């Protein structure tokens, strides 16, 4: 049990990011699935899934993963804007991947959604760690 605690302490940030990243991915995929099944277009389904998953990701990353200690309106707004800007960039990448591979090349939507999310999770972690919450842990 001591080894597990030491391992968790050493890799806490990565473990929690992967856990909440998995939860975020689940929010994204389930949202996309529901929207696409009720007849929404690939693009609209992807955008709605993105909005819901980014809101979830911000709350969990800021509070649990990177333990943000930002105080003051300016610092919080800078952190929030950076988070949403980076997520917008990876959201646009996700949208482009989905439209190209699903609508143009006719690949399976759910398979591409999962693969796209792997890329997005990696890029989002790097952005959060290196740019947004870099001095927060």
Average pLDDT, rounded, for the chain: 89
Tens-place pLDDT, residues 114-127: 899 889 888 988 99
Q: What is the mean pLDDT of residues 59-83?
A: 87
108 within domain boundaries: yes
pLDDT reported for residue 136? 44
pLDDT reported for residue 135? 59
Q: Please report how many Cα atoms fall inside a 13 Å half-sphere around the Cα of residue 134, on the Cβ side.
A: 7
The rounded distance, in Å, linking the Cα atoms of 6 and 22 is 23
Domain extent for 37:
2-132
Q: Which residue has the higher pLDDT, 137 or 92?
A: 92
74 within domain boundaries: yes
The rounded distance, in Å, linking the Cα atoms of 132 and 105 is 35
Split at pLDDT 50, 70, 90, the class of 19 is very high
23 within domain boundaries: yes
The rounded distance, in Å, linking the Cα atoms of 62 and 20 is 11
CB 83 within 8 A of CB 130: no
pLDDT reported for residue 125? 87
Q: What is the mean pLDDT of residues 67-95?
A: 89
137 within domain boundaries: no
Split at pLDDT 50, 70, 90, the class of 23 is very high
The structural domain count of the chain equals 1
pTM check: above 0.75:
no
Split at pLDDT 50, 70, 90, the class of 38 is very high
Is the model's pLDDT at 27 over the cut of 60?
Answer: yes
Q: What is the mean pLDDT of residues 22-28?
A: 91
Report the run of H or E that residue 42 belongs to, with start and end: helix 42-60
Scan for tokens 């591979």, then name that residue: 101
69 within domain boundaries: yes
């Amino acid at each position: 049990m001591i080894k597990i605690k030491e391992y968790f302490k050493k890799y806490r940030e990565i473990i929690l990011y992967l856990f909440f990243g998995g939860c975020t991915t689940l929010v994204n995929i389930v949202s996309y699935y529901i929207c696409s099944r009720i007849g929404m277009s690939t693009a609209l389904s992807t955008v709605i899934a993105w909005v819901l998953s980014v809101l979830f990701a911000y709350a969990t990353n800021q509070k649990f993963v990177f333990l943000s200690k930002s105080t003051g309106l300016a610092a919080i707004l800078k952190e929030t804007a950076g988070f949403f800007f980076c997520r917008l960039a990876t959201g646009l990448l996700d949208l482009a991947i989905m439209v190209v591979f699903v609508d143009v090349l006719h690949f399976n939507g759910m398979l591409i959604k999962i693969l796209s999310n792997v890329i997005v999770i990696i890029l989002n972690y790097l952005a959060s760690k290196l740019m947004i919450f870099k001095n927060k842990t």
